[in-house]
């Protein structure tokens, strides 16, 4: 009897350790996931453009295929590489983060540049030349998954840098939870966003009350505004996150002048307002200065990416360089 009680006590102890481990993974995943917020917002803002021009019945199947591609990117392709880097070449994480941050700055600055100096979209013209809807759908899905790969690489690298795990298994479990959670959050949000106008149209034509029909019309009118807000917030988030990653990376590599000055300036702004607003003002000031740096760095990278990197990649791949 005493042996059975001892066994049950051991089992209970193991269960407590397992439960604590699950809690630790969830907490670490939440912390790491929060660090990727800027990239997540941009991912959610970018994806709906790949669904433009398709029948409503095809939208959710397309989103599901992109979601599966995103999970494959994160769990099968990127996660093993991230784990190898973390355990065998951790010194590479900071340069890779800076490279990813520079890409975010470039993307954000390019969007700002296009707003200030608009021109025709080569992608739209190319889409209009495609007559086969099935072929166009395949092209769009492949394009979305390629874009997701780049953003997923940044998400996984940022999350990996933020994870403080006692062992490799906890690290892997946390990274997997982040990968799945981020993917569900992004593409679940995209599914809601792209179907919202259909819900609005249905309510506008079929709701039994004037209030319901008015709500439907309001949803339809609000969707373009929402997409614009997402685009603006996503661009700002890219520039803020990208700029802060590059600045922090410079600090890690021993070039901390800019980061220290931004910290001091933000601290001064925080202490110039009432105490109740101090933390918010300091965070806002730092995020703004990181974003301004992101714009400046991105503008520097635009000619480098379009005149040097793009043609080199095109020459290696044998494909025509795209803007």
Rama region for 16: left / alpha / beta (φ>0; ψ in -120 to 50; rest): alpha
Per residue in 68-105, pLDDT (tens digit) is 999 999 999 999 988 888 888 888 888 888 888 898 89
Q: Is residue 172 part of a domain?
A: yes
Of the pLDDT bands very low, low, confident and very high (cuts 50, 70, 90), residue 145 is: confident
Rounded-to-integer distance, Cα 105 and Cα 244, Å: 10
Considering its fold, how many domains does the chain have in total?
1
In a domain, 322, yes or no: no
Q: What is the mean pLDDT of the chain?
A: 77
Contact between 243 and 234 under an 8 Å Cβ cutoff? The reply is: no
Residue whose pair of structure tokens reads 């593409």 in the numeric block: 187
d(CA 303, CA 305): 5
Tell me the CA distances in angstroms from 210 to 27, 74, 92, 221, 257, one per residue in order: 46, 46, 60, 16, 61
Q: Give the per-residue SS3 of 234-259.
A: HHHHHHHHHHHHHHHHHHHCCCCHHH
pLDDT band at residue 128 under the 50/70/90 scheme? very low
Token duo for residue 306: 């379009």
In-domain check, residue 201: yes
pLDDT of residue 107: 84
Quick: pLDDT tens for 218-255.
988 888 888 788 778 878 888 888 898 899 999 989 99
Q: CA quadruple 69, 70, 75, 81: dihedral positive or negative?
A: positive
9 assigned to some structural domain: no
User: Which of the pair, 217 or 322, is modelled with greater confidence?
Assistant: 217
Q: How far is CA 173 from CA 29, 79, 129, 200, in A?
A: 9, 10, 45, 40
pLDDT at 165: 66
Give alpha helix (H) positions in the chain.
Answer: 2-35, 37-46, 56-71, 79-88, 93-116, 122-128, 133-162, 168-206, 210-252, 257-270, 278-304, 310-317
Structural domain boundaries enclosing 295: 19-317
Q: What letter would DSSP give residue 323?
A: -
Rg of the chain on CA atoms, in Å? 23
Q: What is the mean pLDDT of residues 207-217?
A: 87
User: Which one, of 164, 170, 160, lies nearest residue 17 by Cα?
Assistant: 170
Q: What is the pTM of this model?
A: 0.71
pLDDT exceeds cutoff 80 at 188:
yes
Is residue 4 one of the residues assigned to a domain? no
Q: Which pLDDT band, with edges at 50, 70 and 90, does 297 fall under?
A: very high
In a domain, 6, yes or no: no
Q: At residue 189, does pLDDT exceed 70? A: yes
Would residue 166 count as lying in a domain?
yes
* From 13-17, 75-79, 312-316, the region with the lowest mean pLDDT: 13-17
Q: Is residue 275, in this structure, part of any structural domain at all?
A: yes
Residue 261 above 80 pLDDT? yes
d(C-alpha 40, C-alpha 101), whole Å = 14
Average pLDDT over residues 136-158: 80
The residues, any chain, with a CB within 8 Å of residue 136's CB and separated by 6 or more, are 53, 127, 130
* Residue 28: predicted pLDDT: 46
Query: In this structure, how many other beta carbons lie within 10 angstroms of the beta carbon of residue 60?
Result: 14
């Amino acid at each position: 009897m005493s042996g059975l009680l001892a066994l049950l006590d051991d089992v209970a102890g193991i269960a407590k350790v397992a439960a604590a481990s699950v809690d630790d993974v969830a907490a670490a995943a939440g912390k790491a996931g929060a660090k990727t917020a800027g990239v997540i917002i941009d991912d959610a803002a970018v994806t709906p453009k790949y669904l433009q021009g398709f029948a409503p019945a095809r939208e959710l199947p397309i989103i599901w295929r992109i979601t599966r591609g995103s999970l494959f990117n994160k769990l099968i392709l990127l996660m093993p590489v991230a784990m190898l880097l973390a355990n065998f070449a951790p010194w590479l994480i900071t340069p890779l983060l800076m490279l990813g941050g520079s890409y975010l700055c470039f993307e954000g600055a390019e969007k700002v540049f296009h707003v200030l100096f608009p021109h025709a979209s080569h992608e739209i013209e190319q889409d209009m030349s495609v007559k086969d809807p099935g072929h166009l759908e395949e092209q769009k899905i492949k394009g979305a998954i390629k874009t997701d790969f780049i953003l997923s690489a940044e998400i996984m690298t940022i999350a990996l840098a933020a994870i403080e795990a006692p062992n490799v298994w906890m690290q892997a479990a946390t990274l997997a939870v982040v990968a799945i959670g981020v993917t569900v959050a992004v593409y679940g949000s995209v599914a809601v966003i792209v179907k919202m106008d259909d819900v609005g149209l249905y309510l506008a034509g079929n709701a039994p009350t004037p209030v319901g029909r008015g709500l439907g019309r309001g949803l339809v009118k609000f969707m373009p505004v929402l997409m614009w807000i997402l685009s603006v917030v996503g661009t700002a988030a890219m520039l803020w996150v990208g700029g802060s990653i590059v600045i922090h990376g410079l600090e890690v590599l021993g070039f901390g002048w800019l980061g220290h000055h931004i910290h001091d300036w933000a601290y001064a702004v925080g202490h110039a307002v009432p105490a109740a607003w101090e933390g918010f003002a300091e965070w806002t000031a730092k995020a703004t200065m990181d974003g301004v740096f992101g714009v400046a760095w991105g503008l520097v990278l635009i000619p480098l990416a379009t005149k040097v990197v793009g043609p080199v990649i095109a020459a290696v791949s044998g494909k025509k360089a795209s803007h």
